[in-house]
Structures are given as C-alpha cells and as structure tokens.
Amino acid sequence: MVEIVYNKEEQTEDNAFSGIRLPKNIRQIGIPGGNRRIYIEDYVMTYLKQLANPNSTFARGAILVGECVKAGQDEAVFVSGALAAQNLELDLQEDSFCGETWSYIYQEVKNYFPDLEVVGWFLSRMGFSTEVNDMIVKLHMDNFSGPDKVLFIMDELEGEEAFYMTEGDGLRRQSGYFIYYARNEAMQSFMIATKQESEEEKSPVEQKDEAVLKNYRKIMEERARNARIERMNKRLSGACSVLTIAVLALGIAVFSNYQMLGKLQHRLEVYGVFAMDSEQDEAENKADERNAEGHIQKQSAGKSISEIAVSANIPKYYTVQNGDTLSSISFKMYNSVGYVAELMEANELGEADDIREGDRIIIPTVQ
C-alpha cells in the first residue's frame, strides 16, 4: 500500500478541499480519491491497534468519535477519539447495539469527548481479512446510517486494515486515508483512565481471552512435550536395535570361533600333533613298563622275584581310572590293601587330599 509522509513545515493545501482546514503533519496511506477524505489521529490508531492485538481471540469493537466537515461537494471525516465497545466481543450473529448499549456509548462520549460526535465504528476480527459480509453491512446500516459515517476494519493477524463508507445501499471500500498528528489531550486522558481501570479490574472479554490463551499455551506445551517424548522413544528404539544387532553379531562371532577351535583341535589330533590325555598317559605307562622290564631282565639272572623288584627300584606310574581309590589301587598293584600309606608317602598325599580320574600317580617299590 502506498504511504506518503508530508513535511511538517508545509501547510497541506488542496484545491479540492480549499474550504476545509486540514492538518499540517499527516501520513498518507493508499491513494485517497474522490471528494471524500478520512483523517484518523495517531493516538486513536495506537489505541485501536492495542484492541486488535493478536492475543485477542474474540472480535473487538470500538465507537469512533470526531467531526465531519463539508465544503460544497467535498467532505472530510476527522476521527480523533475511540471508545472500546465491550458488547462487540461477538461472532456478529446478533444485534449488538440495543438502546441500553447506545445509552452507555453516549454517556462515555459525554464524559471523555464532550465536543465530539459519533462518526462511525471500528471492528477487529483476526484471520477474517478486512472484507465485509452481509451481517456487518446490516449492523452498519441499522446503527450508523448516513453517508458521513465510517467503518474501520482491522485484521492485525494478516496486517490488513481498511476504511468503508456508505454508498447507495451498501458499503464501499475507500482507496486510502490519512493519519494525522496533533495535540490530542482528550484521547490521551481516555487512554490513561482506561489503562488504570484495566489494571484494577479486567474486563470479561480480556478474562475470556486470557483463559483461551492460557488453554492454548497449555495445549501447545503438551504437544511439544509429547513430541519430545516421541523423539526420545525413537532414539531409544534405534539404540536398542543397534545393541541387539551388536549382541547377535558378537554371539555369531563367538560361536563361529568356537567351531573353528573345535575343527583346529580335531585336525591337530588327526595329524598327531598332540593326543588326548588318556592316550598320552597310556603310551607313557607302556614305555615305562617296557623300560622297567628290560632293566629287570638285564639284572634278574639268578635272582628271585622279590630281589629283582628291590634291586630294580624303578618307579612305576598308574593313571587313576573312574572309581579308583588308594585302597583299590593298592590291591591292583600289590594284591593287598595294606600299601595305602606307601602310596600316600610316594605321592605326597595327605589324608584330606583326593585323587581324581586322570591323575598320574607313582607306584613305589615295596619289600
């Protein structure tokens, strides 16, 4: 939208409005055309923007006061005051300007703006743009009749604003308007008074707005918390999946290594690199026996069996079998159980020591 700021030092003169005294310091919004002009004071615009704050979830309305100046065919409407109309916290589905409402409005105008008159109304509807519908047109025609009455619509959410004036049987959007800057003590006093009242006690509309806004924030916080939990669950799920895969991979590797070790042991046994313990013990026993027999044969000529056994003094070994005890081994080796003490002494065994299957013990030579 076109915006033009005029020099403060220059007197705003226009041939089309030569008979109307216009403000010196103005800002042009859009391109005003025709013989009708709208001027709204800066304090009034500030106050209306506060009403149209995006935190307001309901429609907001205000009564516009000022004066209408005509010069021949030319007309200028000056909006220099505004009062919030609490009855416009509405969805525009019902008549909001009854006799009681107008009584209240005129009383407020008399209190704060005694030298001004009602020149129109203001409506803020978030997210509904600045277009008018049949209900808005009907409200305007029923309550603000006359060609010099204006309707100012603002949608702060979309950043749009527009002025309308009566033309024929409907409302026509104006192509532009002016914001002017002037000393406006009446509007300043009204804004200060309403601010003090709002600090002491909030209006029902603001209470509703706060409740709705609080509930909305609570919902958004809950959604944000749920989103965080969902993201955390996804991360944990991913971590568990990775850990499960790692454990499976480790198990497969261990099992595979175990199989490889088994195969390696089997091959070593096949190629004779080493034998099982029992086979090795048996082979060693047989070798010891053969050596002992050979040694005895060399020295046994003309000697008795006992003499041979004593003279040989060659240690003999025995591999403990399943179920063996020192008594049974003594009987096997000496045909008597009376040599347990000799077995214990030769193998340095105590009474608390046990022998186990596979142990290789010394069989001492006895008289």
How would you write the pLDDT of the chain (367 residues) with one tens digit per residue?
555 555 544 544 444 565 778 888 889 998 887 788 999 999 899 888 888 875 655 678 889 999 999 888 888 999 999 988 755 544 445 446 677 777 888 888 888 888 899 999 998 887 778 888 888 888 888 888 888 899 999 888 788 899 999 888 889 999 999 999 888 888 878 778 777 666 555 555 556 666 666 676 778 778 888 888 888 888 888 888 888 888 888 878 777 776 677 766 666 665 555 444 545 556 665 666 666 555 545 554 544 444 444 444 556 899 999 888 888 998 889 888 888 889 898 998 887 778 889 999 899 988 7
Rounded to an integer, what distance in angstroms lies between the CA atom of residue 19 and that of residue 22? 9
Closest CA to 194 of 115, 88, 122, 108: 108
Closest CA to 366 of 312, 323, 286: 312
Rounded to an integer, what distance in angstroms lies between the CA atom of residue 101 and that of residue 99? 5
Instruction: Tell me what pLDDT residue 363 has.
Output: 92
Classify the phi-psi angles of 362: left when phi > 0, otherwise alpha if psi is within -120 to 50, otherwise beta. beta
Confirm if 91 and 136 have CB atoms less than 8 A apart: no
Closest CA to 145 of 163, 125, 118: 118
Residues linked to residue 69 through DSSP beta bridges, in sequence order: 76
SS3 274: coil
Closest CA to 43 of 113, 144, 134: 113
Instruction: Tell me what pLDDT residue 153 has.
Output: 92
Structure tokens given for 47: 């106050």
Instruction: Tell me what pLDDT residue 306 has.
Output: 44
Helix 99-112 and helix 185-200, axial crossing angle in degrees, nearest 10: 120
Instruction: Tell me what pLDDT residue 305 has.
Output: 45
Instruction: Tell me what pLDDT residue 8 has.
Output: 46
Burial zone of 25 (CB within 10 Å; 0-12 exposed, 13-18 middle, 19+ buried) = middle
Closest CA to 79 of 122, 50, 112, 108: 122
Classify the phi-psi angles of 359: left when phi > 0, otherwise alpha if psi is within -120 to 50, otherwise beta. beta
User: What are phi and psi for residue 167, nearest 5 degrees?
Assistant: -150, 115
Helix 42-51 and helix 185-200, axial crossing angle in degrees, nearest 10: 20
Confirm if 210 and 202 have CB atoms less than 8 A apart: yes
Q: In what order do the strands lie in the sheet with 36-41?
A: 3-5, 26-30, 176-180, 36-41, 74-85, 60-71, 117-124, 150-155, 160-167, 170-173
SS3 111: helix
Instruction: Tell me what pLDDT residue 260 has.
Output: 73
- pTM higher than 0.75: no
Q: Which amino acid type is present at position 309?
A: A
